[in-house]
Chains A and B, each alone.
Chain A
């Protein structure tokens, strides 16, 4: 006959996942879905016309533009930095390799506010190089270049980190074979390394982009918060909120959220592609 323990084992096996899933679903609803819904609910609370007017407000439009511009400037630089750093670290031996690895992780481990303040202390009017720059009429702090600089600093590890893990796992034998077959450094990178890392590279770029667009702390220290000039979207959200313009703030926030959704969808597609290739 059947094993007397079987029914018990079966119910237990059936119930545990259900409980875990329920807990997960409730937590997700409470802490992730609800705040997102509130954003759109608040943004649209005075009707779609007010929402449209809020987004089309010149200052908000400028903030959207500045955020996009920051991504367009910072992302390529950090991709280039990430790829070269990861290539050097994983495919070659050199002195100071560990130091470089630690330096790459540094922006992850210090608070963005601290990063902003240290840039202020270097480039600001009272900072280390400030007077020298001021003599030459170069203004970095409280202007758009400052936003680029700190964003670059804060988001620099994303691409490199993503690639280093993968490239370490892949080893360097393929590159070594390519070298003995006569490939130059560039050919080695272009034909052998790059095809093997492209999905991870895109994935790293997507993560980096999300952080570039959302960065608040460091940017708020160095931007100077000049309306319509040096306000990125996250800063604009805060500004509108402090102006008691909640609908405006949430409208701007909804734009950021939509950008985040686009990023997430891209990431999901990339992950699936990478997974398909591996299996």
Chain B
């Protein structure tokens, strides 16, 4: 089921939380709402669920406004970060809840409900746990119960609010892949809120980046990662070096880094900011002619994060290097080095002004 969000605005008191959000979500699409806390992403999700109402704008589904529908009639499945399971009911009763509360005319028979519960338990890899209570399950299992409970009503739209935020890293990785496969198998429209860019990049069809109640960028994970529209997006997608540079006669001037990828610049002479991801920086050993000194090395596994103190103004640049290569090149603290950037993006007045090489 497609959802058309039009000019949505909402204030909490005097504080605006949504400032004119326009977004069209296609049928069967998996969309991630990504943003820092306070960006309005959760409010947007809650408006879709029917738990908040906007001050302005509309949400249109199947040609009809959703805003005069209470949550009970929207057929949305809702999953919270902390599961919100009914602690006093067994797992089976939790899952059956949405079917049991229907009025007599539309309520399925007990046998049908039990069959549905069993089906969902096995789909969620929870078979045999139906008679347990939520307190007896692990976090990952509880979140799957919450998902099963939401799916029991066969929702057209599945809404998840930071669904994996309370789980440890391994379970989180497993569960998000698994969410993607459930989404593909059942064919619904899924919207999930997250502040974890890795999660959004991995499983979403499209990512909507929000900041201060406005959409900053919409795109596929590749588009977002390769062409961040603003410095905000670039920063939000992960650690990045920001280097203030001068632009002169269409050339970026930055000591020693040789931004070859910036060969054809058509921009006014002005100050700009060059963004380079740590993994896009090459470091090679140098004798006295280097332009930087390795200041710290921290362990990341196969990679190491290296802080480089640039000569002159002593700007610190972070690079992520392969540890095997570092050993071969004898790169360690105190070593003089050459620094080259393979990739980077230039922003002037918060607007991207480079094409990719």
> Which residues of A have CB within 8 Å of B71?
176, 179-180
**B19-60 near A? 1/0 per residue, CB < 8 Å:** 000000000000000000000000000000111000000000
Report yes or no: B101 in contact with A187, Cβ–Cβ below 8 A: yes
How far is A107 from B282 in the complex, measured between Cα atoms in Å? 73
Name B100's closest neighbour in chain A (CB-CB): A191
A196 surroundings in chain B (CB, below 8 A): 87-88
* A113 interface contact, C-beta 8 A: no
Q: Are A179 and B88 in contact, with the CB atoms below 8 A? A: no
Interface residue stretch chosen among B77-85, B202-210, B228-236, B344-352: B77-85
Residues of B within 8 A of A178 (CB): 86, 97, 101
Residues of the A chain whose Cβ atoms lie less than 8 Å from the Cβ of B146 = 177
Within 8 Å CB of B74, what residues of A? 180
* Complex interface: chain B residues within 8 A of A13 (CB): none
Given contacts A173-B84, A174-B84, A196-B88, whether A181 and B70 have CB atoms under 8 Å apart is no
* A179 close to B51 (CB less than 8 A): yes
User: Are B101 and A184 in contact, with the CB atoms below 8 A?
Assistant: yes
| B149, CB-defined interface residue at 8 Å | yes
Question: Which residues on A sit within 8 Å (CB–CB) of B97?
Answer: 178, 181, 183, 191
Segment 244-260 of A: residues with Cβ below 8 Å from B: none
- Chain B proximity of A24: nearest CB distance (Å): 35
B49–A181 touching, CB < 8 Å: no
| Given contacts A179-B50, A196-B87, A173 and B80 within 8 Å (CB-CB) | yes
Within 8 A of A (CB), among B95-126: 97-98, 101-102
Q: Give complex CA distance A44, B170 in Å.
A: 71
Among B72, B84, B101, point to the contact of A191 (Cβ < 8 A). Answer: B101
Q: How far is the CA of A27 from the CA of B87 in the complex (A)?
A: 42
Kindly supply a per-residue 1/0 record for chain A positions 156-197, scoring 1 wherever the CB is within 8 Å of any chain B CB and 0 otherwise. Answer: 000000000000000001101111111110010001100110
A174 B153 Cβ-Cβ under 8 A? no
**Contact residue among A173, A179, A182, A195 (Cβ-Cβ distance under 8 Å from B102):** A182
**Contact-size category for B:** 20 to 34
A179 CA / B146 CA spacing, docked (Å):
14
B188 within 8 A of A: no
Q: By the criterion CB–CB under 8 Å, are A183 and B101 in contact?
A: yes
Instruction: Judge if B76 is at the interface, Cβ distance under 8 Å.
Output: yes
- Residues 241-255 of chain B, each 1 if its beta carbon lies under 8 Å from chain A, else 0: 000000000000000
**How many residue pairs at the A-B interface have CB separations less than 8 Å?**
62
A176–B80 Cα distance when bound, in Å, is 10
A191 to B51 alpha-carbon distance, docked (Å): 19
**In angstroms, how far is the closest chain B Cβ from the Cβ of A196?**
7
Partner of A177 from B78, B87, B102 at Cβ < 8 Å: B78
- Known contacts A182-B101, A182-B153; is-contact A195 B88 (Cβ 8 Å): yes
* Complex CA–CA separation, A4 to B85 (angstroms): 54
- Point out the residue from B84, B87, B98 that lies within 8 Å of A176, measured CB to CB: B84
| Docked pose: A178 CA to B70 CA in angstroms | 12
Q: Which interface residue of A179, A181, A183, A192 has the most chain B CB atoms within 10 A?
A: A181
B72 touches which of A174, A180, A195 (Cβ 8 Å): A180
Nearest CB in chain A to that of B74: its residue: A180
B153 partner residues in chain A, CB cutoff 8 A:
181-182
| Alpha-carbon distance A181/B49, docked complex (angstroms) | 11
* Chain A interface, >50% SS class: helix
> Considering the chains assembled together, what is the distance between the CA atoms of A187 and B50 in angstroms?
18
Contact among A173, A174, A182, A184 for B98, CB-based, below 8 A: A182
Instruction: Tally chain A residues at the interface, Cβ within 8 Å.
Output: 16
Give B106's nearest chain A residue, CB to CB: A182
Contact of A192 among B78, B86, B98 (CB under 8 A): B86
Please state if B98 and A181 are interface contacts (CB–CB under 8 Å). yes
Q: Could you say which of B82, B87, B101 contacts A181, with CB atoms under 8 Å apart?
A: B101
Chain A residues contacting B51 (CB-CB under 8 Å) are 176, 179-180
Q: How far is the CB of A214 from chain B (nearest CB, A)?
A: 34
**Contact A177 to B72, CB < 8 A, known contacts A183-B97, A183-B101, A191-B101:** no
A174 to B78, CA, bound (A): 10
With contacts A182-B101, A195-B88, A196-B88 taken as known, whether A177 is within 8 angstroms of B149 at the C-beta atoms is yes
A173-B80, A184-B101, A191-B101 given; A179·B86 CB < 8 A = no
Within B126-171, which residues are at the interface with A (CB < 8 Å)? 146, 149-150, 152-153
Whether A180 and B49, one on each chain, are in contact in the complex, defined by CB atoms closer than 8 angstroms, is yes
Assess the B49–A176 pair: CB atoms within 8 A. Answer: yes
* B50 to A: closest C-beta gap in Å: 7
Max count, chain A CB within 10 A of own CB: residue among B70, B72, B88, B150: B72
Mark out the residues of chain A between 116 and 161 whose CB falls within 8 Å of any chain B CB in the assembled complex: none
Closest residue of chain A to B78, judged by CB?
A180
Across the two chains, which residue of chain A brings its CB closest to B161? A173
Interface centre among B101, B149, B150, B153 (most CB of A within 10 A): B101
B-side contacts of A177, CB under 8 Å: 78, 80, 84, 146, 149-150
Look across to chain A and name the residue whose beta carbon is closest to the beta carbon of B77.
Answer: A180
Taken together as a complex, chains A and B put the C-alpha atoms of A13 and B86 apart, in Å, by: 44
Report the minimum CB–CB distance from B193 to chain A (whole Å).
14
> CB-CB < 8 A to A187: which residues of B?
101
List the B side residues contacting A182 at CB < 8 Å.
Answer: 72, 98, 101-102, 153
What is the interface of chain B, defined by CB distance below 8 A to chain A?
49-51, 70-72, 74, 76-78, 80, 82, 84-88, 97-98, 101-102, 146, 149-150, 152-153
Query: Given known contacts A179-B51, A179-B71, what 19 new A-B pairs fall within 8 Å (CB)?
Result: A173-B80, A174-B86, A176-B49, A176-B78, A179-B72, A180-B49, A180-B50, A180-B51, A180-B72, A180-B76, A181-B101, A181-B150, A181-B152, A181-B153, A182-B72, A182-B101, A184-B101, A192-B86, A195-B88
Rank and list the top 8 A-B pairs by shortest CB-CB distance, nearest first.
A181-B98, A173-B84, A195-B88, A180-B78, A179-B71, A183-B101, A180-B71, A174-B84
